[in-house]
Amino acid sequence: MKKFWPKPNKKIDMNQKASDALLYRMIPHALGDLFSRYFRLEVAGAENLPRTGSGIITPNHSGYAGVDALMITYEIYKGTGRIPRVMTHYFWFLSRLTSNPMQKMGFVNATTTNGIYHLNKKNLILLFPEGEYGNFKPTSQAYNLQEFRRGFVRMAIKTQSPIIPTVVIGAEETFINLGQIKLEKWFKNFVLPLPLNLVPLPARWKIQFLPPIHLPYSPDAADDNDLVHEIASEIREDMQLAINKAVESRSTIYV
């Protein structure tokens, strides 16, 4: 049992780093190791993760259950000792019942203002540019990137932070989604999945951290809508090519 629940390498001060400590306790080595084994996870490009300073991790979003966020966070911590702030849908912050524990675990309401705040604090943030439209897209559209929201580009320019595009393969086949329930009439940007399975299927996973992108623009350029749109589109295209290459190179999905 000890190898599945090893002690942390260093003691965490719960008073000085409360959110990091609680998030670490919620995602212990045992859970991360268990999922890594179950998914036979392969990780590539961990050397591209910033060891110091700010950075924006931007993965594709897939597999409606959000396990991709958990696994990416675990691998970032495993590779760098850092825990990113996870930019999360505003729905989780509508009630104190959910907002308080989410904030204590390091989850942050996904706004440009919040992202800039944490980047200026030299934190890493984990942000899914597709939002819930990527996470809850039908499996029939697997690995087709949805439209990117462009706030991450503005954050990167304003704070002079690198963007680390990230590719996740396997989550689409882990949680099968039949479609979407759109509730935008009542809640802004809010959809729900129609899942086929609740127990994760044992698909093989790969997480690939691509080389960091340093945008050579002054902070004022964040107000240039055409430039921001162009950068977001280029990053989306590059990520789609990387996804296509990774999917085509797979020899098997479940075996």
How far apart CA 208 and CA 190 sit, in angstroms, is: 28
Q: Which of 38, 78, 73 is nearest to 174 (CA)?
A: 38
Q: Parse the chain into domains and list their residue ranges.
A: 18-248
| Residue 149 parent element (H or E) | none
Instruction: Match domain 18-248 to its CATH number in 3.40.1130, 1.10.10, 3.40.50, 2.60.120.
Output: 3.40.1130
Q: What is the pLDDT of residue 239?
A: 98
User: CB–CB of 99/92 below 8 Å?
Assistant: yes
Q: What is the pLDDT of residue 5?
A: 37
Q: What is the pLDDT of residue 181?
A: 79
Q: Which of 144, 146, 117, 145 is nearest to 54 (CA)?
A: 117
Q: pTM of the prediction?
A: 0.84
Question: How high is the mean pLDDT in each 10-residue block of the chain (255 residues)?
Answer: 42 45 57 89 97 98 84 91 82 60 68 93 95 85 95 97 98 91 68 85 97 97 97 98 97 90
Q: What is the pLDDT of residue 90?
A: 56
C-beta contacts of 114-118 below 8 A and 24+ residues apart: 114/87, 115/56, 115/87, 115/151, 115/152, 115/155, 116/155, 116/158, 116/159, 118/54, 118/85
Q: What is the pLDDT of residue 46?
A: 97
CA angle 160, 244, 230 (to 5 degrees): 35
